Amino acid sequence: MLKESLSVDLVTTQLAGRNKHEVIAALMDLICKSGKINDREQALRDVLDHEAGMSTGMENGIAIPHAKTDAVDELVACVGITKRKIDFENLDRKPSRIFIMTLSPRSGTGPHVQFLAEISRLLTDVKTRKAIVKARTDEELLQILTA
């Protein structure tokens, strides 16, 4: 699922943003490169609405902002890494540097759940998380994520 969903134009080691909202906007800009977003503003509203209800800041420096939205017809995802640590209201109260955004259609849950399960499994490994944060190029980041 990661190999099918991610390409070099959907990952970045230079994610912009100094706070939660700026990071979400930067991820939305990145995910729009897929060409699969029908309505950027609707998608952004849906992500921000979901985030307002429940923070998607996980543990171990990871945040997974996501939403079900009418702005896409199929699962779309991107991954961004920041140099600075961003307060994302994480469960462990520590800042995030690894950000994964997923958008999926309101109907159906299969691909969404499968993608989140795969990325979660990958990110449970401390060595993998360290390698992701240390990636110097987008190509290197993609290689780590899809190895």
CATH number at residue 39: 3.40.930.10
Total number of domains constituting the chain: 1
Confidence check: pLDDT of 116 > 90 = no
Strand partners, 78: 101
Q: What is the pLDDT of residues 135-146, one digit of tens each?
A: 999 999 999 999
Q: Please report whether residue 146 resides in a domain.
A: no
60: nearest Cα among 14, 93, 13: 93
Residues of 60-85 as b/e, b for ≥16 C-beta within 10 angstroms? ebbbbbbbbbebbeebbbbbbbbeee
pTM of the complete model: 0.94
Strand partners, 67: 103
% the chain with pLDDT above 90? 81
Q: Give me the domain span that covers residue 63.
A: 2-140
Q: What's the pLDDT band for 11 if we cut at 50, 70, 90?
A: very high
